[in-house]
Amino acid sequence: MFAGLLTDEWKSSDTFSQRNETDQRLVQTNNANLTPILRDLYRTRTSAREAIDALNAFKPTPTANIGQMYFTMAMGELYLAEWFCNGIPLGGVTDGKTVYGETLYSTAEGYAFAKAHLDTALTNAPAGSGTTAADTVRFSTQIALGRVLIEQGKWTEAAAAVATVPTAFQLRATFSLTAGNNQIWSLNNSAKRWTVGDSFDLSGRILNAIPYASAKDQRVPVTGTSTGTSAAGRGFDNSTNLVTQTIFGRVDYTPILSGLDARLIEAEAKLNTSDIPGMMTILNNLRTNPQNLGSFSTTAMTTLATPGTQAAAVDLFFREKAFWTFSRGQRLGDLRRLIRIYGRAQDTVFPTAPSSKAVHTART
């Protein structure tokens, strides 16, 4: 969700300065909400590495368990590369003692670390392992590997990596290990500190933003409006119109990775290998067949016309992906990729507009 607040998926309806400055894309290095997110990603990597050492020493079979830990470590590295700037420190723990990294790694190097660990995960959870647990590790790893390869601009390899992942596959999480609450529901529907993003609000138009709250797209069903009198009332700050999502209820899981993502990776590969009709076939197949997103499944949607230019095809693809992946941690990586690989200017990618909180600025 925090990465989504830096983009257009979410808007702050809170009084916390840490969330407001993130919504404004003016994040300070001492942001008290961001710091634990970064710390948790490092802990994920470290704990996974320690688990790998212990599994190799004491319980080397089934090997899919070891593969799962390599996948987990790689996901931490993938998020670090997608969400944070160049200069990523990667350390670890040896015999219970912290070992600091000798260098600061670039985004590209972060993806390379993730790819190496995903390759090892697949080695430990190969096809034909014969168990549901092993299949879950393998399919999850394939999707994550496809994401890394897309970020590296390796389109054909990315499509091949996810080819055997079933569209119905999901890696599910409920977020809170204590209360069992889905944190998207908690921060949006319950606490009212986050509101669904839109392409306009009471201050006017927000350039480049997807109109999640007002598009009436069944993939992001909502209650409330960004202007006028919202049926959901006001946010925690008592001034921002509240728009609540109805994808994820209090105890609903969220698909962290999904077979939908595999098909979208294939579609982006088609986009970048001069096969726009092939991209459209994939996107329209997703639209016309029911897809599970959380607490509900979509119904058939109308097909989209094939765009006439490459630029229009890029616009259409990332809009479609934005609705399919809402609040699942992919939007920030997508926007940064539009700048890094597709060559777009940051002020044509990130939301830019006056805000009821302050001034939105584009940041990569």
300 pLDDT more than 60: yes
**pLDDT tens-digit map of 102-133:** 788 999 999 999 999 999 999 999 988 778 99
* CB of 237 closer than 8 Å to CB of 353: no
> Residue 202: what pLDDT?
87
Q: Sorting pLDDT into bands at 50, 70 and 90, what band is 295?
A: confident
Tokens coding 158? 């990315």
CATH 1.25.40 residue ranges for the chain: 33-165
**Predicted local confidence at residue 208, as pLDDT:** 95
Residue reference for tokens 């808007």: 11
- What pLDDT is recorded for position 222? 98
Contact present, 57 and 65 (Cβ < 8 Å):
no
Q: Side chain identity at 282, as an amino acid letter? A: I
pLDDT of residue 357: 55
pLDDT tens digits for range 188-217: 999 999 999 999 988 889 999 999 999 999
Q: How confident is the model at residue 255 (pLDDT cuts 50, 70, 90)?
A: very high
Q: Is the pTM of this model over 0.85?
A: yes
33-165: which CATH topology? 1.25.40
What is the pLDDT at residue 203? 84
- Specify the range with the lowest mean pLDDT, choosing from 91-95, 122-126, 140-144: 91-95
Closest alpha carbon to 287 in 317, 252, 328? 317
Q: Is 216 exposed, middle or buried (0-12, 13-18, 19+ CB in 10 A)?
A: exposed
